[in-house]
Amino acid sequence: MSKNILVIAGSPKKDGNTDTLVDWFTQGARSRGANVEVVRSAFLKYKTGGCISCRVCQSSDVYECVIRDEASPVLEKMARVDVIVMATPLYFFGPSAQLKVIFDRMFSLYKWDNAAGTMQTPLKGKTLILLASAFEDVGLDCLEKPFSLTAEYTGMPFKSLLVPNAGVSGDIKNRADMQEKAVALGRSAAE
């Protein structure tokens, strides 16, 4: 049975380092028969800059954000796929704002019962993968932490490919070592 993989690419630059990592990863995943969809979060139209903490999602029986915009179908797909890949450049020791919008609105995919001390989510058991690159070799550990903690909290296996010293936009195309790792990670995600 083919794995369904959703890649959320958070770079506002087309054909840069993040898009190249995404392309390599998807080549590997598709070579193993995975169904891969890539969403470029930088080009979605949003009604807000992220989660507005209205908490209406917590009183609903469904796992969805009440803010209906182009993030809505992405969140719905996250609940249905086997693997979620988030790809981003390093921006000031964190992910791009364009990816953070989706990441924050994932709040709607959780239901907490604070009195009982329980949490339910359709994301449990899915694999979360982070693809990230940085111009130099500082900060990728800071960027990775929120993703690895979210995976651990949610009960999601976590993998990452962090590329330090990737250079300016597009320079990563000269890194055959990273191409090999990204393609291999895509293959492994599809298995």
| pLDDT tens-digit readout, 84-123 | 999 999 898 989 999 999 999 999 999 998 889 899 999 9
The Cα angle at residue 21 between residues 20 and 22, in degrees rounded to 5: 90
User: Could you give the domains of the chain?
Assistant: 4-190 (3.40.50.360)
pTM of structure = 0.94
**How many angstroms separate the Cα of 35 from the Cα of each of 32, 44, 64, 124, 139?**
9, 21, 23, 20, 32
- Tell me: the pLDDT tens digits for 125-153? 999 999 999 888 889 999 999 999 999 99
